[in-house]
Amino acid sequence: MQSNEITTAEAIKDKVFLVTGGLGYVGSALCLELLRRGARQVRAFDLRPTSPWSKSLTNAGVQFIQGDLTEKEDVGNAIRGADCVFHLASYGMSGKEMLRFARVDQININGTRHVLEACLQFDVGRLVYVSTTNVVFGGKEIVNGNEALPYFPLDDHVDPYSRSKSIAEQLVLSHSGRPFKTNNRGKLHTCAVRPAGIYGPGEERHLPRIISHAKWGLLPIRIGDMSVMTDWVYVENLVLALILASIGLSDGRGDLEGKSPVASGQAYFISDGSPINSYKFMQPLLRSLGYDIPKVSVPVSHVIATARASWTIYKFLYTWLNHAWLPPPLILPAEIYKVGVTHYFSSLKAEEELGYVPPVTPREAMDATISYWQERKRETLDGPTIWPWLIVGFGLGMLFCAAFLPNAGPVVPLLRGFSLLFLRSMWMVRAVAVAAAVAHVAEAVYALKLAKKVDPVNAKGWFWQTLALGFFSLRLLLKRRELGR
């Protein structure tokens, strides 16, 4: 480790840090760790007023500054007086955000410019930028890649997020070594950290979406075969890497000797160091929650057309992307490449120059993640996949229409005729409809009484879900009772 000329204590103790995106998952963990290591002040700069981690940050003494990266004045006010900036805030990584092209560029490119300008204006000596492996990856296989890889051509990126992060990273690294605007004796030193897929207890982007799809039965296929390898990084390991990068920018009595700190102008790939197939990686977590693992493998070439079609459709819906009623696209091209094309990277450079060694093993990290999600599942209303909702909804709807609606229009006679094929008489159709309603009500009442003992927090939810789905819902509650014994 070359950066040991400056110790952790010297680089952090009594220093002031600003973390953009400080209310996010990684940002909040970084804020807390900086305070634990002796920082004098840690500021969390974020657009949103609150997050799931706000309470723990406030209790720890983190100063919250609400502001917008696209507003130069907001950024300057937040950075003034800081010794080091960690720039984590970004936009457009997944879901509907990926298609909001203008907003992606405003935050990721213009916002980064504002951070750089403020650092130079207010004599901030260190800037650690959190980038992405997508600056070099765009759908072509990479095996054990390193920092010598060229940037992926900007015009060939399949999503605006990757393109904008590449531009922003190059801006950040090109500013390393620039003198301050008001103090020519000092310089800004920058570096970029390129993390693998981030995971851990409470992670809010990758795992919740995957688990939600698995819960609803929307993971029917596996994209690519099991030989496809990617890498991941546990949140605690990433936080350590970020802190080591900031220390690497402090290695410098360097400036007095005419040398730059070891990390100045450098990029670093960061991972747990254990490449693995994404579906194999998710397997223990999904199985621990009782969800099915996709068994059928489909080549990337067969599903990329569907993803591109989804991309095109959502581009036409651009005006409504920020509305809650519009669901996120099931999958987009960049996400297919992420899981279906081998790409993993070596952290050797970070190990040699920064002293990065992951303190948490992949097994320990997954165990902690599983424990978190099992507890979260126990505290929430469980439900079946989407298929019982469709089957029961269609079946009951058809039955009640046939039994009780007037014989008007083309649909009701058709439904009535179909019902009579099986039940022979209208009296029998109406009797079955009433019996189904009574059964669902009885099951719902029983579910409410049982849930008050087994899962009192979600008792009302169990009532309404069982009223709609009947035994498809009740059996899950009975299973929860058995597991609780």
Give catalytic residue positions.
161
Q: Report how far residue 15's alpha carbon sits from residue 331's, in angstroms, rounded to the nearest whole number.
A: 43
Q: Report how far residue 95's alpha carbon sits from residue 100's, in angstroms, rounded to the nearest whole number.
A: 10
- CA distances, 160 to each of 78, 163, 440 (Å): 27, 5, 48
CB 103 within 8 A of CB 91: yes
E-only strand ranges, 196-258: 197-199, 221-223, 232-234
Tell me which H or E stretch contains 269: strand 266-270
CB 53 within 8 A of CB 23: yes
Residue reference for tokens 């060694």: 357
Q: Tell me the three-class secondary structure of 65-121, residue by residue.
A: EECCCCCHHHHHHHHCCCCEEEECCCCCCCHHHHHCHHHHHHHHHHHHHHHHHHHHH
Element counts in the chain: helices (H) and strands (E): 20, 14
Q: Report how far residue 299's alpha carbon sits from residue 305's, in angstroms, rounded to the nearest whole number.
A: 11
Q: Give me the phi and psi of 146, to 5 degrees please.
A: -135, -175
- CA distances, 351 to each of 71, 229, 241, 482 (Å): 37, 21, 9, 48
Q: Report how far residue 452's alpha carbon sits from residue 252's, in angstroms, rounded to the nearest whole number.
A: 63
Nearest Cα neighbor of 195 from 345, 80, 394, 304 is 345
Nearest Cα neighbor of 173 from 87, 232, 82, 254 is 87
| Three-class secondary structure of residue 144 per DSSP | strand
Structure token pair of residue 318: 């651009």
Residue reference for tokens 């269609």: 394
